Amino acid sequence: MPTHTTAPRRRLIPVLIAALLAPAAQAQSSADDNQAKTLDQVVVTGVRASHRTALESPVPVDVLTQDDLRAAGAVNGELGQALATLLPSFNFPRQSNSGGSDHVRAAQLRGLSPDQVLVLVNGKRFHTSALVNTDTKIGRGTTPVDFNAIPISAIKRVEVLRDGAGAQYGSDAIAGVVNIILDDAPQGGEVTATGGAYHTHFRPADRDITDGDSGYAAAKWGTRLGGSGFLRFGIEANNHGNTNRAGIDTVPDWLADPTPANLALRGRRNYVAGDPSAESYNGWLNSEVPLSGNATFYWFGTYTQRHSVGDNYFRYPDSSANITSIYPDGYLPKSVGTDRDLQTAAGVRGLAGDWHYDGSVNWGSNAFDYNLRDSLNASLGPDSPTSFHIGTYRFDQGSVNGDFSHDFSVASRNVTLALGAEYRHENFRTTPGDPASYIAGPYVDAPVGAQAGGGLQPQDAAKLSRDVGGLYAELSSDVTEHIFVDAATRYEHYSDFGGNWSGKLSGRWEFAPGFALRAAWSNNFRAPSLSQIGYEATTTGYGADGKLVTGRILSVNNPIARGLGAEPLQPEKSRNASLGLTGQVGEHFDFTLDAYQINIDHRVTLSETIDSPGLEDYILQHFGVPGVQSVAFFTNAVDTRTRGAELVGNYRTPLAGGGLLLTLAYSHNHTDILHVIPTPEALAATGAGNVLFGVEEQNTLTDAAPSQRGSFTANWSNARWNLLGRVTRQGSVVRVFDFGGGDVPTQTYAARWQLDAEVEFRVTPQLSFAVGGYNLTNQYPTQSNSEINYAGNFPYDVISPIGLNGAYWYGRVRYTF
């Protein structure tokens, strides 16, 4: 058996050479580095009163700087991975063999759904992706924000508000808010290049593997405009190779017919499991121009175009899914995604009398073209094409905002009053794929549609829009020298769901010098996304039990879904409460400890995949639609309660001519299901085993994401060196399948420790080189048992936060001017 791969290593050589020849980064003094990571930075997220620091905030806010992001998993330009490395409460699972979900990764905050976190850029709402994640575990049925569509080189800092904030920022902010502040340096520039790859011993195949080779380059520059104005802009390019951690295929009878052609594939790696390959190009700008009086015009925007290729389940030579004249040895379909993402905002802010004002127009758009290659529509026989356009997804969001604030004094106490209004228009639409991707051909015994997808059909096409209007008010005040209180309320009206009031009350009491209690209560609101209301799709693929299934995802307005008991969707509503303790001891140590509870009613989820033996006949007899073997639809099936606690502590001290910063961060949360609505009688009548919301989807909400994550980071730096080490404990997760008939295989993937390290040397104040790695001890998840590992092909599960790729090594060079 070969002991290593060769082609990825050849691709890696020019990447590393380019990294060593490229220019690199500006030096920061150890004092500046340590100061950048303390909790005494002024923040703009969480409360609109000015000049409050993260430590003085009445709600928990994490602040991450450019340096933090650079040394935290951002070597591939992945913002989401960097946030997951730095924030234990942030989960960013990888996907594999998940159809369209391989191309847009979904993130979680505090263990909640990806669409329950609101993302802002420079304080303006960022749009979600257009692609609907239906083939993934975490985030199934959501259209999350694509964090990797935001260029990481554009970021000055990230502020993460870990608290419900619907009354302040609008719907979707149930879990919290991520506010990304763009780089606003008025002069100078930077060029950065990195290269790296995974190098690991893969035990299930007993071989050394080097793959996933990647190269990342970014450049940015700024200049002053009109005295106090500036223009800052940059570009990025990123190329990431795929990885493969598939095991040895045993080809059992239940997976493939025991024919000689199929059995000849035993002992091979027929599948691919790992990261998709991806190539992306990004651009961004951030600018301000002073106007007459006290006004300033601003304009910023980001653009990303990404092309990615993912893998799907292998099709065996002798199967109904194959045409041997096209693929005599079987085939592995590839999903191909082209993702284009644009966000831009412009406005004027200034001072009119005693009032600060900010008026803006914001536009965001995401378009995703979904294609397949190395596939076929078996019902078309030997005439089938092997490449297909599956469909196009698009989401547009435009808004107009007006924000006003006034600082004044009452009884010698500072008071801030903020008022604002927003109008937002949203539009979601899908367009059908090639006819060959979904039509039924003359070979009636073969499955219909392109394998590993099946194109969107004309009947699946969706076009929905809505309008949202909102008004808010927020009042903040130092009630006494040691007590700060903030109160906010918001009214929002959705054209498809009506009106809703949200409110929030938070406060901070400094009961001793340097020590304070803080608390918050809020109710929050999230309307079902347009995709959850109107998305439909027809797919042909393999279920977890290895059987080929043609299924449909139905909107709640579809007659079939209504006939099975689907009800119109309702908004999600939450009640958030938190209590925290903060402390600062001298100049060396500070900490925050926060506990919280989040109750959510009417959570929107996809139903279980309903595939009882009688379903196909039921749909044919009652609705005249043939060949539908499984269905799923969106539902408000469940109420949940999430409880958790989060700890962040920093200790800094001079050491050996430099500065040492020690950071401990820990997050624990657990979600309980409080109520599940009964399975509708119409659905139960189609098969004894049918349930609306069963063990698989309950597992998705409760145990599939880690309930505990913690990290300890040590960072020492002086004028020449920066040394960083990080130990992370990734908590355990649980995977549950329901194969029917009482067969419910379950496995716990144990907690894992991960070691990351980086060494950076500053040749000059402008030029630096760095080498480092992630998961240096080459940790893998618990191996999946024989019931779950799909005949040995998938020895590791993607839901484990440690990932399934092993150790990653990289080099970076940076130059500033």
What pLDDT digit, counting tens, does each position of 176-185 carry? 999 999 999 9
What is the widest separation between alpha-carbon atoms in the chain?
89
Long-range own/partner contacts, residues 2-8 (CB < 8 A, 24 or more apart): 2/207, 3/207, 3/208, 4/207, 4/208, 4/209, 4/210, 5/207, 5/209, 5/210, 5/211, 8/197, 8/210, 8/211, 8/212, 8/213, 8/241
Domains and CATH numbers, the chain: 19-181+222-655+692-768+778-816 (2.40.170.20)
For residues 604 and 308, what is the distance between their CA atoms, to the nearest angstrom? 29
Q: How many Å apart are CA 12 and CA 626, to the nearest integer?
A: 50
- The answer to whether the beta carbons of residues 215 and 190 sit under 8 Å apart is no
* Beta carbons of 658 and 599 less than 8 angstroms apart: no
Residue 648 has pLDDT above 60, yes or no: yes
pLDDT tens-place string over residues 285-331: 999 999 988 999 999 999 999 999 999 999 999 999 999 999 999 99
H/E run at residue 232: strand 229-240
Residue 293 has what pLDDT? 83
What is the structure's pLDDT at 43?
84
Q: What's the Cα-to-Cα distance from 199 to each of 9, 128, 211, 213, 432, rounded to whole Å? A: 10, 34, 7, 9, 41
**Residue 20, pLDDT above cutoff 50:** no
- From 574, 486, 476, select the one nearest 522 (Cα to Cα): 574
Amino acid at position 517, single letter = L
Which of 29-43, 89-103, 598-612 has the largest mean confidence? Answer: 598-612
Instruction: Examine the pLDDT at 10 and tell me if it is beyond 50.
Output: no
Query: What residues contact residue 810 under an 8 Å CB cut-off, 6+ apart?
Result: 75, 194, 195, 196, 197, 214, 771, 772, 773
Is there a contact between 634 and 604 (Cβ–Cβ < 8 Å)?
Answer: yes
> How far is the C-alpha of 709 from the C-alpha of 730, rounded, in Å?
5
Per-residue model confidence as pLDDT tens digits over 765-815 = 999 999 999 999 999 999 999 999 999 999 999 888 899 999 999 999 999
Counting other chains too, the contacts that 477-480 makes at CB distance below 8 Å and 24 or more residues apart are 477/49, 477/410, 477/413, 477/414, 477/415, 477/416, 478/413, 478/414, 479/413, 480/413
Q: Which range among 5-14, 542-551, 607-616 shows the weakest confidence by mean pLDDT?
A: 5-14
Contact 82, 152 (CB under 8 A): yes
Q: Does residue 14 surpass a pLDDT of 70?
A: no
Q: What is the DSSP letter of 273?
A: -
Q: How many CB atoms lie within 10 A of CB 292?
A: 6
- Residue 33, pLDDT > 60, answer no
Lowest-confidence pick of 23-37, 174-188, 410-424, 632-646: 23-37
* Amino acid letter for position 114: P
Give yes or no for residue 202 having a pLDDT over 60: yes
pLDDT of residue 187: 95
Residue 172 CA to its chain's centroid (Å): 14
Does residue 678 surpass a pLDDT of 80? yes
Cα(732)–Cα(755) distance, rounded to whole angstroms?
A: 17
Q: Are 213 and 12 in contact (CB under 8 A)?
A: yes
Q: How far is CA 59 from CA 83, 268, 522, 595, in A?
A: 19, 54, 11, 11
Question: In terms of C-beta density within 10 A (0-12 exposed, 13-18 middle, 19 or more buried), how is residue 384 classed?
Answer: buried
Distance set, CA 722 to CA 127, 194, 376, 567, 574 (Å)? 37, 17, 53, 58, 44
Q: Which residues pair with 471 in a beta bridge?
A: 421, 491
| Residue 86: pLDDT band with limits 50, 70, 90 | very high
Higher pLDDT, 546 or 659: 659
pLDDT the model gives residue 543: 61
- What is the pLDDT at residue 73? 61
Q: Nearest to residue 33, comparing CAs of 797, 721, 771, 744?
A: 721
Once rounded to an integer, what is the mean pLDDT over residues 105-115? 93
pLDDT digits over 244-261, tens only?
999 999 999 999 999 999
Strand spans (E) along 513-569:
515-526, 537-542, 548-554
Quickly state the pLDDT bin for 541 (edges 50, 70, 90): low
The two beta strands, 277-290 and 229-240, are antiparallel
| Cα–Cα distance for residue pair 193/182, rounded to 1 Å | 20
693, 566 Cβ separation under 8 angstroms: no
pLDDT at 735: 94
Average pLDDT over residues 377-392: 96
Of 295, 408, 399, give the one whose Cα is nearest residue 343.
399
Confidence of residue 609 (pLDDT cuts 50, 70, 90): confident
The residue count for the chain: 817
* Residue 787: CB atoms within 10 Å: 14
Is a pLDDT exceeding 50 seen at residue 381?
Answer: yes
Please give the Cα distance from 335 to 378 (Å, whole number): 17
Summarize the confidence of residues 434-449 as an average pLDDT: 91
Q: Residue 686: its pLDDT value, please?
A: 83
Q: Is residue 237 scored above 80 in pLDDT?
A: yes
Tally DSSP H helices, then E strands, for the chain.
11, 33
Distance, in Å, from the CA atom of 762 to the CA atom of 20, rounded to the nearest integer, reads 14
Mean pLDDT estimate for the chain: 91
